[in-house]
Amino acid sequence: MDSINEILKVLKNFRDEREWGQFHNSKDLAIAISIESNELLEQFLWKDPSDAKVDKIKEELADILAYSFLLADKYELNIKDIILEKVKKNALKYPVEKSKGNSKKYNEL
């Protein structure tokens, strides 16, 4: 079993033992991702990035990833496949020769 499937199994088992599946509809999972993302941003608010607490970043990132994995599972999306597909699309939008060392958006290159 690959790592992604192991993670999904643990997450779903945790959810199912508590009968929380009823609350994990697509809308609420998406909202949870957004809320947890904002909690991650809060770790950097009014600070130099080097002053952010890594243990809090780890916690918030774990929450974001957990809800993301559950949302992908709800739509039967293969996490590895969708990430690799997105990287391919981004490679076309951001060719190395135009974007290397450049932070401009693809439509500004």
Q: Where are the domains of the chain?
A: 1-77, 78-109
**pLDDT, tens digit (0-9, with 9 covering 90-100), for 22-45:** 999 999 999 999 999 999 999 999
Q: What CATH number labels 1-77?
A: 1.10.287.1080
**pLDDT, tens digit (0-9, with 9 covering 90-100), for 40-79:** 999 999 999 999 999 999 999 999 999 999 999 999 999 9
- Among 13, 11, 1, residue whose Cα is nearest residue 70: 11
**pTM of this structure:** 0.90
pLDDT of residue 1 exceeding 60: no
